[in-house]
């Protein structure tokens, strides 16, 4: 109660509390004494008002509704109803038990920092209601040095009043448990005569008035995996037991009471470091906290490392320079010991904490640990070990030079550690990993269908630093063998992209490694560095192999082909083509015209021609021949054959002149059948092929409608009922939804694929960014520009920070964002973004890169829409120059750029020059697309318009007859091309004052819009105006009025106020014409 309510109330409250605690200490173990007190609740109300009765009533009500109070009242009622051996006299003779004994409990470290979360978990596990007659157990597991013992000591001292006895036992062995427990009990109860573990456990299970039921047994460092800890636990329904261990598998003893001790929080670690470095009383500056945060981050908040660092800093006054010392002398610093009063069974240093694990590890577990420490400390795929074992640890993707004896030694070491019986078995690997898990040396992290191994970075460093120079040499060679033997283009397992973090150590020393390993490591290079290093590395490899074997050896040609392929990262397609042709000719002469190596050279030359869009026929011929050879020599199941089939089918479908969907569909059907048989229907390769086949069927229309529906049904039936969030499968499912027109479902699947990709591979990984680009194209197709812009902005911000393949994808994202902004008429922002991106692309890849050409087109379009025609013309002309130099004559890029130039020239009223440009475009399109294509008709109309704008109507007349014939004989083209051709012809006739013919064309134009898109959209409403105008110009005002009124109704339904205002003006003009019959241009 407050002293403001009762004079001297605060003093009386304290006296009452002291008395009640003494009574509880004296009678609490009798089973008949209970205390009900609302005082703690009332004491919390420091601001009392005059409404004292209401205050007391409210707090009393809260107290009585508390579940603990409720259970206590039940127990009082039960005790009152049963007979008791206690009388008032016997109670008066009861002496208070001694104050809590803490037998063997070590002192708390002066640098201990309270860790709220695990302490709260211990409260829940160990401090339930006394009336719940059960034994309470808490298991605390964690790696060495994580602060398990100190946490328990702190908790025991904080809650000592809850127990009569706290017994701290060294649980490192059966013997230490027995010795400590017997000694502790004898110090508590002089009547205890037991000498072994059994009698000690019995004394705890069947207590007398001295030991009582209120004991807490702490079994510290129960790390030995061979120790049966359950056999040393008292069998009873009272007491509290705390076990600390590195063995997380002890969780099964009390799953609800298990605490996997995480590392310190950032703030806890920072406070601990500063307490030990500066002392708890010294005031900390923001600069000191900033430095402390940087230090504890290096240790990933491991308590023993933080305290060790703090003590070293305190001794040497080096807070400012500690990180630099750590960088240069890590091993020496982490071996430093500190002197403290607690009773750890190892010296106070990080490495000493870890060293205690060594004696518990088998030779195989220690050997595997010593190899794994050469990889990155987190995210190592467990499946990689099994994959390497399935290849006998001996596979080499590149056999460019002979090996030394240590190559076989590394294979033998891996086999001895992982496949001692000669056959890989998952359960055998489980046994080795289980040893490491039991000592918390590693943790396993589940990521979808795979398991990843993770070390604490300091433990990872210890595993490396503890090795001798010879051990490091031997284990590094074995780690390199484990890593490079999974580089295999032909196994259908796409694991390489996940391994670049684990290859970094080796890549940093790549020039010192064997040539074969260098070649394999290029495949594992960090995507952010690949563009800068891949070509250089392959050029060095080629020079080394060439010096050893000469130009005519097939191994030299293999290295040279890789140099050619690496030209794509610059890019330098001219050199790529030259080197590819050189390799092809060499292999024809050395190995023969129909060998697998010759077919490989054909494939890459074809790929070069595809990228440059040169010699399309030669490219297809090369792919056909390569496929024929590979099917004959390697067989249809070989990965290289599959790759050629897919690329051949892709190019057959994408041919701009003569797409061959029938042939492509046959190839893809064979490929899908092969991949389904080899890898299953849900493998990423199978899904990719199925995607292409679905697209092929969809493009072929009615001809393949049955096959399309059948394939969609099959894919639906074997889909993903388990909800396995595989990215390839999610993307595939999204694509199926897209083809089926289920756009909301497709959008959801794409979003889930991106979430999964971010979690599994990282937000800015190649795989995830590929999904982002695919999803972006989907949103663009649906004109969902707000959602598209939001998605792209999230990734665009990282474009300045990342390089390599990832950077290229981010540049593509910037380009797509620029397109979205342009479409939304945010021209200024789009212009700035695209200009900046163009400069980046030119700086990194050169002016002749395809992406630079794409950006110039977008930027030119942005300028054009702002009526900045000179700037747009310049960009189109730059692109025109690029396409003429880089690609074959008449390519689509050249045609598009030439049209852009012609439009800009026309808009600048340079009509004579415009006419010449449009004639060139007309003839080019007539040659490539055929004489009756809608795009040819559209181009021809610009020639007519260029004449009309110079008032050369007579010169335009012969062309009018020709264009009318073209209009009536149109063949092919997309719906949009057909509509544009109709509109352009109608306008040419209108300007020529051939109004009857123009009316015919505009009516046909409206019919086509209705056929293609329906008549309820804005385009139909807008294009009605063309017909209304030519009717007005013919003096048919009533008919024109009827159409304008129909337009007004449609714009009203579409809620387009601007359209309604425009039509209101036109209707006013029509009314004037009807009343006065003047010649009015409506």
Q: Is 451 left (phi over 0), alpha (psi -120 to 50) or beta?
A: beta
Structure confidence at residue 1023 (pLDDT): 93
State which H helix or E strand residue 443 sits in. Answer: strand 443-447
Q: Tell me the C-alpha distance between 542 and 579, whole Å.
A: 12
Structure confidence at residue 149 (pLDDT): 87
Residue of 550, 552, 600, 551 lying closest to 580 (CA atoms): 600
Is residue 1047 pLDDT above 80, yes or no? yes
Is residue 153 pLDDT above 70, yes or no? yes
Is residue 85 pLDDT above 50, yes or no? no
Structure confidence at residue 558 (pLDDT): 95
- pTM (two decimals): 0.63
SS3 of 470-491: the string is HHHHHHHHHHHHHHHCCCCCCC
Mean pLDDT (the chain, rounded): 83
Residue of 983, 980, 988, 929 lying closest to 962 (CA atoms): 988
Structure confidence at residue 4 (pLDDT): 41
Phi, psi for residue 1035 in degrees, rounded to 5: 80, 15
Q: Tell me the C-alpha distance between 858 and 865, whole Å.
A: 11
What is the average pLDDT across 290-319? 83
Is residue 45 pLDDT above 60, yes or no? no
Task: Specify the higher pLDDT residue, 20 or 234.
Answer: 234
Structure confidence at residue 978 (pLDDT): 93
Work out the pLDDT band at 38, boundaries 50, 70, 90: low
Is residue 783 pLDDT above 80, yes or no? yes
What is the average pLDDT across 419-438? 89
Work out the pLDDT band at 253, boundaries 50, 70, 90: confident
Structure confidence at residue 129 (pLDDT): 60
Task: Specify the higher pLDDT residue, 134 or 20.
Answer: 134
The predicted-structure confidence for 866-925, as pLDDT tens digits, reads as follows 999 999 999 999 888 877 776 666 667 788 899 999 999 999 999 999 999 999 999 988
Q: Tell me the C-alpha distance between 673 and 686, whole Å.
A: 9
Structure confidence at residue 325 (pLDDT): 86
Task: Specify the higher pLDDT residue, 512 or 54.
Answer: 512
Is residue 412 pLDDT above 70, yes or no? yes
Largest Cα–Cα separation, the chain: 134
Is residue 65 pLDDT above 80, yes or no? no
Structure confidence at residue 794 (pLDDT): 86
**Highest CATH level, class, for 101-260:** alpha beta
The predicted-structure confidence for 522-561, as pLDDT tens digits, reads as follows 888 765 455 557 888 999 999 999 999 999 999 999 999 9
Structure confidence at residue 344 (pLDDT): 47
Q: Is 891 left (phi over 0), alpha (psi -120 to 50) or beta?
A: beta
What is the average pLDDT across 230-257? 88
Residue linked to tokens 């100190």: 150
Structure confidence at residue 599 (pLDDT): 96
The predicted-structure confidence for 346-371, as pLDDT tens digits, reads as follows 455 677 767 777 777 899 999 999 99
- In the sheet with 450-454, reading across from the earlier edge strand, the strands are 380-381, 450-454, 443-447
Task: Specify the higher pLDDT residue, 1039 or 266.
Answer: 1039
Strand 450-454 relative to strand 380-381, pairing: antiparallel
Q: Tell me the C-alpha distance between 419 and 93, whole Å.
A: 72
Task: Specify the higher pLDDT residue, 267 or 798.
Answer: 267
For residue 571, cis peptide bond before it (omega within 30 degrees of 0): yes
Structure confidence at residue 147 (pLDDT): 80
DSSP secondary structure letter of residue 348: B
Structure confidence at residue 33 (pLDDT): 64
> Would you say 169 and 177 are in contact if contact means Cβ atoms under 8 Å apart?
yes
Lowest mean pLDDT among 293-302, 557-566, 579-588, 724-733: 724-733
Gyration radius of the chain over CA positions: 41
Residue linked to tokens 């942005």: 862
Structure confidence at residue 2 (pLDDT): 41
Residue linked to tokens 């900046």: 836
Work out the pLDDT band at 87, boundaries 50, 70, 90: low
CA 907 to chain centre: 48
Is residue 258 pLDDT above 60, yes or no? yes
What is the average pLDDT across 602-608? 94
Task: Specify the higher pLDDT residue, 809 or 294.
Answer: 294
The predicted-structure confidence for 742-773, as pLDDT tens digits, reads as follows 889 889 988 988 888 787 667 777 778 888 99
Lowest mean pLDDT among 214-218, 650-654, 798-802, 984-988: 798-802
> Could you tell me where the beta strands, DSSP code E, fall in 643-774?
none
Structure confidence at residue 725 (pLDDT): 41
Structure confidence at residue 679 (pLDDT): 87
> Which ranges of 508-594 does DSSP label H, i.e. alpha helix?
515-523, 527-549, 554-566, 573-590
What is the average pLDDT across 49-68? 57
What is the average pLDDT across 90-94? 52
Lowest mean pLDDT among 64-73, 694-703, 895-904: 64-73
Q: Tell me the C-alpha distance between 983 and 989, whole Å.
A: 10
User: Percentage of the chain with pLDDT > 70?
Assistant: 83
Task: Specify the higher pLDDT residue, 135 or 445.
Answer: 135
User: Percentage of the chain with pLDDT > 90?
Assistant: 38
The predicted-structure confidence for 162-195, as pLDDT tens digits, reads as follows 888 999 998 888 888 998 899 889 888 888 888 8
């Amino acid at each position: 109660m407050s002293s403001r309510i009762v004079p001297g109330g605060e003093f009386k409250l304290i006296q009452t509390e002291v008395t009640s605690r003494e009574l509880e200490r004296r009678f609490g173990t009798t089973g008949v004494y209970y205390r009900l007190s609302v005082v703690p609740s009332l004491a919390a109300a420091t601001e009392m008002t005059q409404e004292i009765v209401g205050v007391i009533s409210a707090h009393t009500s809260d107290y009585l509704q508390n579940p603990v109070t409720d259970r206590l009242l039940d127990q009082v009622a039960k005790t009152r109803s049963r007979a008791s051996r206690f009388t008032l006299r016997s109670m008066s003779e009861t002496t208070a038990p001694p104050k809590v004994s803490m037998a063997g409990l070590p002192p708390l470290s002066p640098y201990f920092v309270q860790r709220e979360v695990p302490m709260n978990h211990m409260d829940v596990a160990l401090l339930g209601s006394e009336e719940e007659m059960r034994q309470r157990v808490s298991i605390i597991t964690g790696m060495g040095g994580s602060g398990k013992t100190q946490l328990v000591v702190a908790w025991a001292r904080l809650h000592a009043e809850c127990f009569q006895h706290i017994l701290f036992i060294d649980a490192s062995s059966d013997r230490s448990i027995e010795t400590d427990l017997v000694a502790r009990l004898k110090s508590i109860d002089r009547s205890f005569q037991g000498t072994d573990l059994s009698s000690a456990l019995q004394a705890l299970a069947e207590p007398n008035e001295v030991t009582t039921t209120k004991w807490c047994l702490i079994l510290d460092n129960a790390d030995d995996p061979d120790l049966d800890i359950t056999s040393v636990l008292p069998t009873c329904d009272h007491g509290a037991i705390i076990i600390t261990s590195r063995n997380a598998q002890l969780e099964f003893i009390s799953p609800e009471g298990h605490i996997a001790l995480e590392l310190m929080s950032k703030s806890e670690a920072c406070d601990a470091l500063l307490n030990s470095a500066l002392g708890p009383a010294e005031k900390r500056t923001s600069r000191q906290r900033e430095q402390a945060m940087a230090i504890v981050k290096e240790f990933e908040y491991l308590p023993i490392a933080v305290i060790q660092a703090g003590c070293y800093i305190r001794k040497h006054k080096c807070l400012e320079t500690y990180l630099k010392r750590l960088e240069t002398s890590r091993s020496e610093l982490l071996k430093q010991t500190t002197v403290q009063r607690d009773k750890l069974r190892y010296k106070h240093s990080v490495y000493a904490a870890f060293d205690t694990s060594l004696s518990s590890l088998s030779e195989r577990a220690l050997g595997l640990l010593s190899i794994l420490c050469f990889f990155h400390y987190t995210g190592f795929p467990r499946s990689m070990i099994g994959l390497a074992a399935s290849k006998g640890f001996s596979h080499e993707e590149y056999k460019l030079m002979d090996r030394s004896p240590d190559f076989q030694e590394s294979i033998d070491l891996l086999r001895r550690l992982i496949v001692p019986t000669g056959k890989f078995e998952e359960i055998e690997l489980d046994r080795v990993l289980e040893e490491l898990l039991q000592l918390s040396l590693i943790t396993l992290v589940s990521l979808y269908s795979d398991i990843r191994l993770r070390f604490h970075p300091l433990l990872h460093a210890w595993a490396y630093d503890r090795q001798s120079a010879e051990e490091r040499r031997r284990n590094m060679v074995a780690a390199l063998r484990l890593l490079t033997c999974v580089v295999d283009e032909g196994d259908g397992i796409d694991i390489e992209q996940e391994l670049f973090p684990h290859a970094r150590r080796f890549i940093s020393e790549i020039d010192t490694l064997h040539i074969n390993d260098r070649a394999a490591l290029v495949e594992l290079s960090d995507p952010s560095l690949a563009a800068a290093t891949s070509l250089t590395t392959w050029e060095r490899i080629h020079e080394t192999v060439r010096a050893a074997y000469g130009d005519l050896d097939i191994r030299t040609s293999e290295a040279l082909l890789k140099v050619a392929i690496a030209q794509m990262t610059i890019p330098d397609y001219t050199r790529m083509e030259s080197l590819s042709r050189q390799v092809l000719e060499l292999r024809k002469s050395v190995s023969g015209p129909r060998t697998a190596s010759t077919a490989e050279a054909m494939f890459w030359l074809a790929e070069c021609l595809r990228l440059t869009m040169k010699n399309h026929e030669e490219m297809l011929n090369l792919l056909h021949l390569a496929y024929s050879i590979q099917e004959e020599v390697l067989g249809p199941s070989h990965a290289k054959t599959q790759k050629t089939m897919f690329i051949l089918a892709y190019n057959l479908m994408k041919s701009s002149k003569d797409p061959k969907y029938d042939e492509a569909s046959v190839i893809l059907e064979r490929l899908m059948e092969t991949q389904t048989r080899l890898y299953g229907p849900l493998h990423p390769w199978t899904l990719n092929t199925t995607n292409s086949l679905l697209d092929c069927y969809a493009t072929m229309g009615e001809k393949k409608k049955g096959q399309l529906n059948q394939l969609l049904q099959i894919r639906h039936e074997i889909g993903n009922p388990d909800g396995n969030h595989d990215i390839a499968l999610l993307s595939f499912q999204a694509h199926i939804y897209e083809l089926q027109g289920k756009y909301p479902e497709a959008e959801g699947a794409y979003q889930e694929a991106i979430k999964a990709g971010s979690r599994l591979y990282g937000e800015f990984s190649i795989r995830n960014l590929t999904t982002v680009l695919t999803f972006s194209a989907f949103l663009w197709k649906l004109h969902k520009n707000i959602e598209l812009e939001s998605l792209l902005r999230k990734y665009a911000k990282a474009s300045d920070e990342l390089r390599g393949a990832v950077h290229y994808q981010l540049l593509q994202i910037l380009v797509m964002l620029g397109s979205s902004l342009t479409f939304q008429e945010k021209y200024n922002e789009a212009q700035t973004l695209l200009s900046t991106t163009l400069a980046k692309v030119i700086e990194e890849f050169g002016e002749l890169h395809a992406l630079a050409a794409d950006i110039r087109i977008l930027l030119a379009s942005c300028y054009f829409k702002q009526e900045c025609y000179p700037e747009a013309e310049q960009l189109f002309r730059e692109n025109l120059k690029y396409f003429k130099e880089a690609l074959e004559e008449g390519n689509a890029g050249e045609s598009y750029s030439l049209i852009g130039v012609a439009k800009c020239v026309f808009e600048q009223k340079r009509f004579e020059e415009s006419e010449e440009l449009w004639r060139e475009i007309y003839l080019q399109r007539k040659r490539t697309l055929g004489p009756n294509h809608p795009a040819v008709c559209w181009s021809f109309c610009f020639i007519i318009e260029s004449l009309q704008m110079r008032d050369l109507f007579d010169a335009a007349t012969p062309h009018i007859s020709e264009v009318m014939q073209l209009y009536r004989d149109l063949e092919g083209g997309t719906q949009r091309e057909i509509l544009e051709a109709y509109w352009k012809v109608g306008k040419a006739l209108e300007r020529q004052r051939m109004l009857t013919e123009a009316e015919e064309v505009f009516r046909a134009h409206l019919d086509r819009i209705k056929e293609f898109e329906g008549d309820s959209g804005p385009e139909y409403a807008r294009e009605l105006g063309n017909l209304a105008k030519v009717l007005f110009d013919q003096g048919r005002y009533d008919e024109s009025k009827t159409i304008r009124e129909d337009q007004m109704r449609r714009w009203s339904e579409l809620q387009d106020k601007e359209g309604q205002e425009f039509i209101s003006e036109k209707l006013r003009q029509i009314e004037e014409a009807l009343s006065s019959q003047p010649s009015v241009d409506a």
